[in-house]
Amino acid sequence: MSVNLQTPIDYLKGVGPNRADLLRSELGIHTYQDLINLFPNRYIDRTKYYKINQLQRNNAEVQVIGTITGFREVAQKRGKRLVADFKDETGVMELVWFRGQKWIRESLKVGQPYVIFGKTNWFSGKYSMPHPEIELQSEHESNLRSAMQAIYPSTEKLSNKGISNRVVSKIMQQLFLETKGKFVETLSDSIRGELKLVSKSDALFNVHFPKSPELLSRAQFRLKFEELFYIQLQLILKNLIHKSKIKGLIFDKVGDYFNTFYNDHLPFELTNAQKRVLKEIRSDLGSNAQMNRLLQGDVGSGKTIVAFMSMLMGLDNGFQCCLMAPTEILSVQHYNGLQEWCNKLNISISLLTGSSKTSERREIHENLENGNLQILVGTHALLEDKVKFKNLGLAIIDEQHRFGVKQRSKLWHKNELPPNVLVMTATPIPRTLAMSVYGDLDISVIDELPAGRKPIKTVHRYDNNRLKVFKFMKDEIAKGRQIYVVYPLIQESEALDYKDLMDGYESISREFPMPDYQISIVHGKMKAADKDYEMQRFAEGKTNIMVATTVIEVGVNVPNASVMVIESAERFGLSQLHQLRGRVGRGAEQSYCILMTSHKLSQDSKTRLETMVRSSDGFEIAEVDLKLRGPGDIMGTQQSGVLNLRIADVVKDKDILEQSRYYAKTVLKLDPSLALPEHKVILNTYRQMSKYRNIWNYIS
């Protein structure tokens, strides 16, 4: 009879109710299955036995075979310690115990061959080993033992309650004895054959009790692949179900709006990347499934024009379109940019934000419902119940990570049939994360900048170079350019940040006095109308310097601004620094980004600043950010659960992730409902996972 892996951990011999409670609360181990999936975080090589005369003064963990020749007690400041002389044919060392001495004296025998294991110290001309792991040589040889000893995750509470690594290892052995080491296979023969994967049972045995380093790495590969394969399978299935169940609005023709704009009004030649992305969008819109696409493009790569041309396809097919942005400033900017193009094509477009007047709102609501209004741009205001479309065909969401899932689904229900959806982001998402977190969306990337854009020169300067930086700013202003100076804003220390900003503003005002220079200031404590007024003055070129907190990270497009000074740059994350830098370099002139910091920098801050100076590729920067911060931080709490992985690591196991996605796609392409006999194990495993969510809780 096979052991049911859903059996509560309390029933495993050697566990009992007290230990079971601790394992549950400290490590989340409820069942046999959870224990099997408690993977070691490192291993110690127990294949090598040292002679006493081979020991080095390096405090390493070693293993020695020998005999105890005698015990003695040594008085010390508090109480006494127990010392045993331990010898082999090459020399003598000491074993030392500071506690548990009575038990040691009673259980260890003089003259018997023992294997000891632990860290060595060098003290007054002799090696000693405090509190060694010790067992009879005969037992040592007969144990279910592996060459590499697994070290399991632990907590202070577990150690204090006596659940040591050895105890965990013992109960793991017990689990393998009860199950006879036989586990149900979870991958199809064809995948295992193609990738030469070891069986599930061998993989689990060798990850807990590896017989050799080579078998260990094969076991880890197999388990990582399986974990990532099922995540990818779930995401791709979600996408397939979405496409088969949710019928889309079909845009079957490209008509006058699109062609007129393309032939007569295109402000610049599209890059190859933009053309490729438009093709991908066009093929989605022409299929009978709802489009659900993520459009990634670095700051300034030309996502807006792609979005506009996608809307024109919607209008050509008689549908309305909307564009939703996270802030008023950004939605106004989108509106101004699109309005210019719409006027040329005689398209009706309106803007709806929190500060729209009641009379304007009324008019917008009316024109939306009777179909006279073709494009609506706005903020969250688009989600209000009063906003009803006649026939919304395409919804575009900018910087989607700032909108919750609930908010997005509100847009879906503005129509009988859900509109096609295009989600845009200027925050490059590393490929690995995109595959894991947005794996259920189709992804397009604009990975080249428009012609004629000069790369922004980025430099790192310390506070004591400030006078030189001021001199450089004056030279740029003399050439007719404008400058941003940005201060960090960290919610917890708002008062402090405000003080920094005001101190900075004062020192800049002294250095750049009126009437020769005009300065704008924008921060979170200002009224929206005052912010907009200051932004507007800067955009129109009436002020030379804009001093601001990070409110400008997303938004303002001022082609004449050519210098971005970021104060206390070490307090910003990488993607934030990259976003801020993207505010300059929008005109034809050479632009600069100056990162100001104090001399005191952590290693991570140094890496961030070096990366910024070296690279302007948003995707490379995002990869470094991912390595520094880990996936949970980058995605923010709402999505970090997706990556609650047991053995794989999306950063280090990037290649395995890509492989697993390829196989998941191949399986589902051939057999979308997993009905073929050869996929029976995959279907069963997938169902089991969905049933016991808590086991594979990373299937989000």
Note the pLDDT tens digit of each residue in 330-349: 888 889 889 999 999 999 99
Residue 561 has pLDDT above 70, yes or no: yes
Span 27-35, average pLDDT: 91
How far is the C-alpha of 41 from the C-alpha of 439, rounded, in Å? Answer: 27
Average pLDDT, integer, range 423-431 = 78
pLDDT recorded at residue 142: 74
pLDDT at residue 700, as a whole number = 26
DSSP state of 69: E
pLDDT at 643: 56
202 three-class SS: helix
Considering only residues 174 and 435, tell me which one the structure prediction assigns the higher pLDDT: 174
pLDDT for 244: 79
Residues 410 and 489 in one domain: no
Q: Are residues 355 and 406 in the same domain?
A: yes
pLDDT above 90: residue 503: no
Domain span holding position 467: 457-615
Q: Is 63 inside a domain boundary?
A: yes
Mean pLDDT for the stretch of residues 271-287? 93
Does position 281 have pLDDT exceeding 90, yes or no?
yes
Q: What value does the mean pLDDT take over residues 285-311?
A: 88
Residue 1 has pLDDT above 50, yes or no: no
Tell me if the bond preceding 113 is cis, omega within 30° of 0.
Answer: no
pLDDT of 162: 84
Measure the CA dihedral 107/108/112/118, to 10°.
130
Between 441 and 539, residue with greater pLDDT:
539
In this structure, the answer to whether residues 421 and 461 fall within a common structural domain is no
Domain end: 581, 597, 615, which one?
A: 615
Report d(CA 607, CA 628) in Å as an integer. Answer: 9
Beta-bridge partners for 63: 117
Q: Is 537 a member of any domain? A: yes
CA–CA separation, 284 and 393 (whole Å): 13
Question: SS in 3 state form for 274-289?
Answer: HHHHHHHHHHHHCCCE
Neighbours of 88 (CB within 10 A): 17
Structurally, the chain folds into a number of domains equal to 3
Residue 594 covered by a domain: yes
Q: What does the DSSP 8-state code read for residue 375?
A: E
Domain shared by 338 and 470, yes or no: no
Residue 634 pLDDT more than 90? no
pLDDT at 530 over 60: yes
| CATH number where 90 lies | 2.40.50.140
Report the pLDDT value the prediction gives residue 351, as an integer from 0 to 100: 95
Q: Which two tokens stand for residue 522?
A: 């924008």
One domain, residues 506 and 386: no
- Could you tell me if 479 and 396 lie in one domain? no
Flag whether 676 is in a domain: no
Q: Is residue 91 part of a domain?
A: yes
- CATH at 375: 3.40.50.300
Q: Do both 472 and 390 map to the same domain?
A: no
Q: What is the pTM of this model?
A: 0.66
The stretches of 249-327 forming alpha helices (DSSP H) are 256-260, 272-285, 303-316
Q: Please give the pLDDT value at position 401.
A: 58
Reading phi first (left if > 0) and then psi (alpha if -120 to 50, else beta), residue 281 is in: alpha
Q: What percent of the chain has pLDDT over 90?
A: 46
Tokens matching residue 436: 């894991």
Looking at every residue in the chain, the average pLDDT score rounds to 86
Mean pLDDT over 217-224 rounds to 94
CA distances from 8 to 12, 25, 163, 211, 645 (A): 8, 14, 18, 29, 22
pLDDT tens digits for 92-140?
999 999 888 888 888 899 999 999 998 898 888 889 999 898 989 888 8
**496 pLDDT higher than 70:** no
499 alpha-carbon distance from chain centroid: 33
Q: What is the pLDDT of residue 699?
A: 30
- Which pLDDT band holds residue 504 (cuts at 50, 70, 90)? confident
Is 354's pLDDT higher than 60?
yes
The more confident residue out of 248 and 675 is 675
CB 190 within 8 A of CB 681: no
Same domain, 514 and 418: no
| 118, β-bridge pairs | 62
- pLDDT average, residue stretch 397-404: 68
**Residue 413 sits in the same domain as residue 541:** no
Q: Are residues 468 and 509 in the same domain?
A: yes
Final residue of a structural domain among 592, 615, 638: 615
Residue 215 has pLDDT above 80, yes or no: yes
Mean pLDDT for the stretch of residues 10-35:
91
Let me know if residue 275 belongs to a domain.
yes
Report the percentage of the chain scoring pLDDT > 70: 91
591 and 469 assigned to the same domain: yes
From the list 677, 694, 695, 685, the residue with the least C-alpha distance to 234 is 685
| Same-domain status, 464 and 594 | yes
Handedness of CA 669, 672, 676, 682 (dihedral sign): positive
Q: Which pLDDT score is estimated for 494? A: 65
Which of 406, 425, 444 corresponds to the end of one domain?
Answer: 425
Can you give the pLDDT at residue 234?
86
Q: At residue 698, does pLDDT exceed 60?
A: no
| Residue 402 confidence class, pLDDT cut points 50, 70, 90 | low
pLDDT at residue 636, rounded to an integer: 44
Residue 644 in any domain: the answer is no
- CA–CA gap between residue 117 and residue 149 (Å, rounded): 11
Q: Which of 279-283, 408-412, 492-496, 648-652 shows the lowest mean pLDDT across its residues?
A: 492-496
| pLDDT computed for residue 473 by the predictor | 96
Does 115 reside within a domain?
Answer: yes
